[in-house]
Structure formats: structure tokens, C-alpha cells
Amino acid sequence: QVQLVESGGGLVQAGGSLRLSCAASGRTFSSRALGWFRQAPGKERELVSAISWNGGSTYYADSVKGRFTISRDNAKNTVYLQMSSLKPEDTAVYYCAARDYASSYALSPLEYDYWGQGTQVTVSS
């Protein structure tokens, strides 16, 4: 099994930056596609960014394109989400997720098998 733990969330002002980290334990995720999701109260969970097993392919939601950067360090079993130019609408609980035995990322949260507990990101205006 894979256990995922997010960190790096917090309260920042609009225009600021924040870096989220997701550390994996248990079974390695080096060959697993990873995604960052977020969910605001009353809204559905949405994919923010995703990355293939080798980092060769990435995805960004239109709302964050140009502002967020996803990366992974398989040697450290860690995936990162660098967030810049943050906006109040970025406020949400951010989750990292991993696909089981899948190297390519997927857009639907239903296609991810392992989830972290989430980390709160709040962007003040």
C-alpha cells in the first residue's frame, strides 16, 4: 500500500507563493502517476495538476496554468506543487493522490487509488 502525507499549506496573501509537498511511505510510488486535487467547501474535488511516472508529461487545470508547477523526486518519494501568484479562489483543501499500477495520469479522482489527508491552503484578499 501507499501512504501519502501532504504538508506546506497555510495562510498567505493574494499574490504570494506556497509550496506543497507530498511524501510517500510504504510501497514506492516511483512508477505511479500522481495528481494534486483541491476541494473547496460545497464544491466538487477537482484536479489541479498531475504528473506521469517519469515526469515527462504534466497536466494543469486552466485556472492554474502558468502559476503552478508540479514536480516529483522519485528518489525522495516526494511530489511537489509550487504555487505562485495565488488568488483567493485558490483557497481549498489540497490533496495529493496516486494511481495504482498506472504510469499515466488521469483527470477523474475516481481513477486514483491512494489519497493523503489534505492540507489547507487559504489565500486572503
41: burial class by Cβ within 10 Å (0-12, 13-18, 19+)? exposed
Give me the pLDDT at residue 1, please. Answer: 79
Task: List, in order, residues 6 or more apart from 55 with CB less than 8 Å away.
Answer: 71, 72
Query: pLDDT band for position 24 (50/70/90)?
Result: confident
Interior angle at CA 107, CA 101 and CA 109, nearest 5: 75
pLDDT at 79: 93
**Which residues neighbour 120 within 8 Å (Cβ) at sequence distance 6 or greater?**
9, 10, 93, 94
> Per residue in 47-75, pLDDT tens?
999 998 777 899 999 999 999 999 988 88
On the question of pLDDT at 110 being above 80, the answer is: yes
